[in-house]
Structure 1
Amino acid sequence: MTYVDGFVVAVQTANRETYRKFAEAAAVVFKENGALNVVECWGDDVPEGKLTSFPMAVKRADDETVVFSWVTWPSRQVRDEGMKAVMADPRVQPDTSPMPFDGKRMIYGGFEVIVDA
């Protein structure tokens, strides 16, 4: 069964193109290390909540946009091995490729797919 890593971040709206280029470059690294696909979605209709919401979760500022992303892997085992390689790859290290978002406010997690209709 496939496995999915999900991510939610806040990106400065003015840095959309910078983020897109960063995401495209990172997608290459993920796919080289076993990912089936990488999807990056720029928030277009992401309302503020009263109790919970994507904007609240990432502490989105007025000049930021919520980005929702996921990476699909063939299995948890492939993901565990692939993610280690991705995290060690110099092409996605903050020193060589600065992240265009605040990683401290990123929400992420791994998910076992239970329905894929």
Structure 2
Amino acid sequence: MLEEDRKKYHEAAEFMANWSMDHGALEVMEAWEADVPDGKNTDYRKAVNAPPGEKIVTGWVIWPNKQVFEKANEALMRGEGFENHNGDDMPFDGSRLIFGAFEPILTKGR
């Protein structure tokens, strides 16, 4: 992400956060790079093939259980809720996104 695209990214993230919450998510977090150092062997930039000057963005969605996640994912694949959304106008290169589902093994705090 380029710094000048931050507002546009925020708008896209807000859309997806609302979509996720409407489909049962408990929490959505999006974070814009503040201090992401280059690593010797690997780092965030290398992981997403980020060119110089590009900002790294990370985030996650917390679902109450696997069943709610799977139902939301099915709705996503059907395009449910995206009827009036222009997906061609995304402020990032979606081919460099990293997806994954994780099962908590430790939770502290909130």
Q: TM-score, normalised by structure 2?
A: 0.87
Q: Give the drift of 1:111.
A: 0.3
Q: Give the drift of 1:32.
A: 0.6
2:107 maps to 116
2:40 maps to 50
1:60 maps to 50
- Asked if 2 retains the 8 angstrom alpha-carbon contact of 1:29 and 1:86, the reply is no
Q: Which of 80, 92, 98 is 1:101 aligned to?
A: 92
Query: Equivalents in 2 of 1:101, 1:92: separation in Å?
Result: 20
Q: Give the drift of 1:91.
A: 2.6
Higher RCO, 1 or 2 (CA under 8 Å, sep at least 6)?
Answer: 1
Q: How many residues align?
A: 106
The AA in structure 1 aligned to 2:60 is W
Where do 5+ consecutive residues of structure 2 fail to align? none
Larger radius of gyration: 2
What's the % identity of the aligned pairs?
38
Query: Equivalents in 2 of 1:111, 1:92: separation in Å?
Result: 29
| Pair 67,39 (structure 1): closer, same or farther in 2 beyond 3 Å | same
The within-5 A match list for 1:1-117 is 11-87=1-77, 88-91=79-82, 96-97=86-87, 98-117=89-108
**Coordinate RMSD, CA, aligned:** 1.8
Q: TM-score, normalised by structure 1?
A: 0.82
Name whichever structure is richer in strand by fraction.
1
